[in-house]
Amino acid sequence: MKQLFTIVILLTSFIFFTSNTLRVIKPYPPKATSGAPGENTCIVCHSGTPLNGGPGSIDISYDGRNNKYVLGKTYKITVTAIDPSEIHYSFETTSLDASNNPAGKPSLIDPSNTLIQTDARTGRVYVTDYDATPLNTWTFNWKAPSTNVGNVTFYLDGVEANGDIKPQGDHVYTNTWTLTPKAVTKEEELAALSSLDIFPNPIQSTATLNYTLDEPSLVSIQILDLSGKNVKTIWNRNENEGTHQLNFNREGLNSGAYMIQIQIGNNTEVKKIVID
């Protein structure tokens, strides 16, 4: 009986220890392993080949042009891991200016597969995968700095693993990608800072409105005639931060020129539209 009691105590202790251990294990990469200046990479935990010694790569791209950014503009960033010899993929990236300070602001497109972490010591912000899976492509939004901080470099670290939950046999890759500020006219700068995009314009039947919120806000979108009179309210509700898309139907509007007004919190923006 005493032996049975001892076994029960040991099993209970093991289950308690195991369950508590499992609660602190994080499926996503730890902060400050992007390979940025002053940081480690994931090679400290994953081995098999030297850093960047495998047959694959970790790459980053965006929907802009010529590796340049416009002040205050939001871009869609894509990270892709490639390694035919592995089956699970993971990444971490951060964006820094030439002084190694955080530059720009990321926001999530797919929160089920990506995560944002902030290092309280340095202020650096990291976008990572949420859990290593066969998924090897991730996207997120990045808002460029609103003031000219010079070149911005993304530091990128990727683990491409064999899925056996052991550090051996995995491949770790790093990469860097630098964006330079684009010189623009005042008109181009104002257009780039615009939070509202309308397509197509002129509008024949329907159009798609795209806009980005930096924080949760009340959004009101109205159609005005050229005198500024409201002729149609097409949206009025609270929304979360991020990129939003709204389909607009011209029903009830005669052909001609109008203005579309979007009010986000206390900020108002007006653009001209044409109904064919």
Q: Do domains 28-181 and 194-275 have the same CATH topology?
A: yes
Nearest Cα to 92, choosing from 112, 66, 118? 118
By DSSP bridging, strand 88-96 and strand 267-275 are unpaired
Nearby residues of 84 by Cβ (< 8 Å), 6 or more positions away: 55, 56
Q: What span, in angstroms and rounded, lies between the C-alpha atoms of 243 and 142?
A: 11
Indicate the helix (H) or strand (E) that contains 152: strand 152-161
What is the per-residue pLDDT for 195? 59
What is the per-residue pLDDT for 263? 85
pLDDT single digits (tens) 218-237 = 889 999 999 889 999 999 99
Which amino acid, 248?
A: F
Write out residues in the chain with pLDDT < 70, as ranges: 1-26, 184-195, 214
What is the per-residue pLDDT for 188? 52
Please say whether the structural domain 194-275 has been given the CATH code 3.65.10.10: no
Fold of 28-181: Immunoglobulin-like (2.60.40)
Annotated domain spans of the chain: 28-181, 194-275
pTM exceeding the 0.85 threshold for the entire prediction: no
